[in-house]
Amino acid sequence: MKDHQAPHNFDEAWKPLPHVPPDGWIHAFGFRLRLFLDLEVCTVYRDLKRAFQDTAGKVLEVGCGLQPYRHLLPHQTEYYALDWEKAEAHFDYRAKDVVYYDGTRFPFEEGMFNLVFHTEVLEHVYHLAPFLSECRRVLAHDGRMLFTVPFAARNHYIPHDYWRLTPASITRLLQEAHFADIAVVPRGSDIAVAMHKINSVCYRIIFRNIPNRILRGINWVFFSLLFAAPVVLLTVVGHLSILLKAGSPDDPLGYTVYCRKIASQAPMP
Question: Domain map of the chain by residue range?
Answer: 25-187+252-261, 191-243
Q: Which parts of the chain are beta strand (E)?
A: 57-62, 77-84, 99-101, 113-119, 139-150, 179-187, 254-261
pLDDT of residue 5: 45
User: CA-CA distance, 167 to 250, in Å (whole number)?
Assistant: 10
Do 67 and 85 meet the contact criterion of CB atoms below 8 Å apart? no
Q: What is the pLDDT of residues 53-82, one digit of tens each?
A: 989 999 999 999 999 999 999 999 999 999
Average pLDDT, the chain: 91
Task: Find the farthest-apart pair of alpha carbons in the chain and give their distance in angstroms, rounded.
Answer: 65
Of 122, 125, 81, the C-alpha closest to 104 is: 125
Task: Kindly report each contact of residues 166-175 with a partner whose C-beta sits within 8 Å and lies 24 or more positions away, as own/partner.
Answer: 167/255, 170/255, 170/257, 173/128, 173/129, 173/132, 174/132, 174/257, 174/259, 175/268
Do 91 and 108 meet the contact criterion of CB atoms below 8 Å apart? no
**Parallel/antiparallel/unpaired status of strands 254-261 and 139-150:** antiparallel
The CATH code for residues 25-187+252-261 is 3.40.50.150
Q: What is the pLDDT of residues 91-137, one digit of tens each?
A: 777 788 899 999 999 999 999 999 999 999 999 999 999 999 999 99
Q: What are phi and psi of 54, to 5 degrees?
A: -105, 25
Residues making up the chain, counted from first to last? 269
pTM value? 0.90
Mean pLDDT of 246-253: 97
How sure is the predictor about 45, in pLDDT bands with cuts at 50, 70 and 90? very high
